[in-house]
Amino acid sequence: MLAGRGLGKSFGGVEALRDVNIEVRRGRITALIGPNGSGKSTLINVISGVYPPDRGRVEFEGRDITSMPPHAVAELGIIRTFQVPRVFRGMSVIENMLAAAKGEGADGVLSPFFARSRVKGYELSCLRRAREILDFLEIGHMRNEYAGSLSGGQQKLLALARALMAEPRVLLLDEPVAGVAPALARKIFEKILELRNTIGFLIVEHNMDVLMDFADHVYVLHRGEVVAEGTPKEVLGSKQVLEVYFGE
Amino acid sequence: MSLLAYAVDTLIFINIYAILALSLNLEAGTARLMNFGKVAFFAIGAYASALLSLTGLPFPASLLGGAVLAGVAGVAVALPALRLREDYLAIATIAFGEIIRLILLNERWLTSGPVGLRGIPQPMRDAVQEYQLFYLALTALFLVGVAAFLQVLTWAPFGRVLRAIREDELVAQALGKHTFSFKARAFALASALAGIAGALFAHYLTFISPDMFMPAVTFSVWTMIVVGGRGSVPGAVAGAAMVVMLERGTRLLKDYTALGVEPSNLRMILLGLMLILFLMYRPQGLIREKKYEVGG
């Protein structure tokens, strides 16, 4: 579905990614782990079009999407979240959600004047969907608060909710449950399990307990290279992974 | 000028500057597009409408021409400048403002240079007796129309995307928004609205010259939206009223007191002071931008 082939990226003299091959498929949850500075966020940035890769290419459903701008990548249905939640702080929670909805021709300058009924219908359907997602993530009661006034964990949930609002086909989630209460974190992953047949997931996560229970396939990045991959069980037992995390 | 005529004159200026403030508010308040060359689009609207009407075109066509030309200039600036980071956009627009002023000053064949354009026709001048009151009503009509248009647009999906861009452009892109297209449309629209304000200004005064379009105008308009409340439509109008009254007040003051400072200098000092005080103690301005909320 989504694949990175031979991806390389350097910043000055630092090689952040080196010949990275990765595949995200619908029907399985793909996890990306590795110590801080191993290149996980850079990989997400390269796939989502924020940084063009120096080498290699990104493919989506057989199409080369390398170096497409972020909005074009997102229009294809590849939606990402950020390690730091980056909510629209000066907007209410519900407006954050509406801002993420696809425009569907309702976001033109003249639409509210010459296509009023269409815009009204669009707003109602977006509101309905936004409320459902917020309620599921248990932040529905905060809908009228400024997003900037939410706690760190709540902002993470809002970032996830907003990504779901954008009708993703692939979700690239950068530490989606960091700072979220453990019970809710598991609940979120249970929902992700439900969605995995319709949405492909690539998840960067440090919470090993949750990952090991829910991930189907794990890539381990270290100093910009994939040093191990496989099922959680295989990866956890891998000598290289133990070396990466605990040293030789 | 009688006190009543002075008051009506002040109200006319409030209406014109409020339209200009609303146009900057769409760019800077809603979308965080740092336009520090706002006066250029005001000047283009004023000169274009004046020149068109001097060739014999009726007022509505001249005004429309001024708005369209200012909008086209907005697109021309937006295409390269909106790709810049916001601080570079600010510098590029300052430069554009000065370029336009220098063109007005030096292209005598078109603009009459420093002498300016005189005898700009006024709409329905001979048909109306109380002309100042008529012009007050005309500018008020334009202000209400522009404010209502922007109030609807700002809270429609288009305005919501502009606010998202203001908050975090990269995130808006990551959610599939072609932010450049939204910014360019907002910039062009705001430039056209500034052109309308410029046209109303020119036809009211019947005389314009390049020294009426100094960078200080941009500074005043920025003060209007900071004082009024960035992103707020009623705030921009309130800010325009406050700044225009302060500017007019300092001029009146010299008739009643012996000031040790030139009124124009005092005006700039007070504007600066007001800006600092608002930024320190009421950064949300007189009327805070509305929060989008939904019921139970």
C-alpha B175/C-alpha B183 separation (Å) is: 16
Provide CB contacts within 8 A for A160, sequence distance 6+. Answer: A81, A137, A173, A176, A188
Higher pLDDT, A236 or A170: A170
Alpha helices in chain B (DSSP H): 3-24, 31, 38-54, 59-81, 86-106, 108-111, 131-154, 157-167, 169-174, 179-205, 215-228, 233-256, 263-281
Q: What is the pLDDT of residue B147?
A: 98
Q: Token match 């307990």: residue?
A: A209
Q: Identify whether the C-beta of residue B100 lies closer than 8 Å to the C-beta of residue B212.
A: no
Contact with chain B for residue A111, Cβ under 8 A? yes
Q: Which residue did the predictor score with more confidence, A152 or A245?
A: A152
Mean local confidence (pLDDT), B104-121: 96
Cα distance between residue A134 and residue A143, in whole Å: 8
| Mean pLDDT across A203-220 | 87
CB B14 within 8 A of CB B240: yes
Mean pLDDT (chain A, rounded): 92
pLDDT at A248 over 60: no
Instruction: Give the mean pLDDT of A112-134.
Output: 96
Which residues in chain A touch residue B177, judged by CB atoms under 8 angstroms apart? 71, 74, 103
Using 50, 70 and 90 to split pLDDT, how confident is the model at A220? Answer: very high
The 3-state secondary structure of B72-118 reads HHHHHHHHHHCCCCHHHHHHHHHHHHHHHHHHHHHCHHHHCHHHCEC
Task: Give the C-alpha separation, A227 to A41, whole Å.
Answer: 16
Those of residues 135-174 in A touching chain B at CB distance below 8 A are 143-144, 146, 162-163, 166
Distance CA A36, CA B37 (A): 44
Position A231 scores a pLDDT of 92
Per-residue pLDDT reduced to its tens digit, A77-96 = 999 999 898 999 999 999 99
Tell me: pLDDT of A7 over 70: yes
ipTM of the complex: 0.93
Residue of A nearest to B166 (CA): A88
Q: Which one of B75, B83, B162, B167 makes the best mutation probe of the A interface by having the most chain A beta carbons within 10 Å? A: B167
Nearest to A224 by CA among A27, A28, A30, A32: A32
Average pLDDT for B122-136 = 95
Average pLDDT, stretch B197-220? 97
pLDDT digit string (tens) for B132-142? 999 999 999 99
pLDDT digits (tens, 9 = 90+) for B63-89: 999 999 999 999 999 899 888 877 889
Contact between A99 and B173 using a beta-carbon 8 Å cutoff: no
- Using a CB–CB cut-off of 8 Å, the residues of B that contact A are 149, 152-153, 156-158, 160-161, 163-164, 166-168, 170-179, 182, 185, 189, 289, 291-294
Instruction: Please write the tens of the pLDDT for every residue from B144-155.
Output: 999 999 999 999
Percent share of chain B, pLDDT over 70 = 99
Q: Cβ contacts (< 8 Å) between A69 and chain B: which residues?
A: 173
Mean of pLDDT values over A16-31:
94
Confidence of residue A213 (pLDDT cuts 50, 70, 90): confident
Tell me which of A237 and B96 has the higher pLDDT.
B96
Over chain A, what HEC string results?
Answer: CEEEEEEEEEECCEEEEEEEEEEECECCEEEEECCCCCCHHHHHHHHCCCCCCCEEEEEECCEECCCCCHHHHHHCCEEECCCCCCCCCCCEHHHHHHHHCCCCCCCCCCHHHHCHHHHHHHHHHHHHHHHHHHHHCCCHHHCCCEHHHCCHHHHHHHHHHHHHHCCCCEEEEECCCCCCCHHHHHHHHHHHHHHCCCCEEEEECCCHHHHHHHCCEEEEEECCEEEEEECHHHHHCCHHHHHHHHCC
Measure CA of the first residue to CA of the last residue in chain A; give whole Å: 36
How confident is residue B188, by pLDDT bands cut at 50, 70 and 90? very high
Average of per-residue pLDDT across A172-182 = 87
- Closest Cβ–Cβ partner in B153, B176, B179 for A166: B176
